[in-house]
Amino acid sequence: MTASTHRTRVSTRTFVIVMLALAAVTAGFVSYYASASPDGLEHVAGTQGFLGSATDHALASWPFADYAVAGIDDARLSGGLAGLVGCAVVLLLAMGIGRLLRRPAGS
């Protein structure tokens, strides 16, 4: 095999570790720089004049409401931690679903 046709395979473990690191950086750091503008629903409610009638949802007092960690005053740290926890929860759910759906060996 010549150097021009040689292809390097990346192991599944290396791929997963790199993707997890990228997700953690995105959730923990890059998310701080996301737009602070209201989302579409909030924007329409403001332009139509009924934003003031909005009430908090049932989970508004939970520790991760509003994309932040309750009790942490630093917005960057609070939002980053909430993003990391969100990534971890999604990862654990995906792993759990994967294990449930996995076929038994020999099938």
Q: Give a yes or no: residue 71 inside a domain.
A: yes
In angstroms, what is the C-alpha Rg of the chain? 21
What is the reported pLDDT for 22? Answer: 92
Confidence of residue 2 (pLDDT cuts 50, 70, 90): low
Q: Give a yes or no: residue 106 inside a domain.
A: yes
Q: Give a yes or no: residue 47 inside a domain.
A: no
Distance CA 20, CA 95 (A): 13
Q: Give a yes or no: residue 101 inside a domain.
A: yes
Cβ contacts of residue 65 below 8 Å, gap of 6+? 59
Structural domain including 84 reads 15-33+62-107
For 18, the 3-state DSSP assignment is helix
Q: Give a yes or no: residue 54 inside a domain.
A: no
Residue 4, pLDDT above cutoff 70: no
For residues 72 and 78, the answer to whether their CB atoms sit within 8 Å is yes
Q: What is the pLDDT of residues 33-43, one digit of tens each?
A: 776 676 788 88
Distance CA 82, CA 67 (A): 6
Mean pLDDT is highest, among 31-35, 65-69, 71-75, for: 71-75
Look at the chain and report how many structural domains it folds into: 1
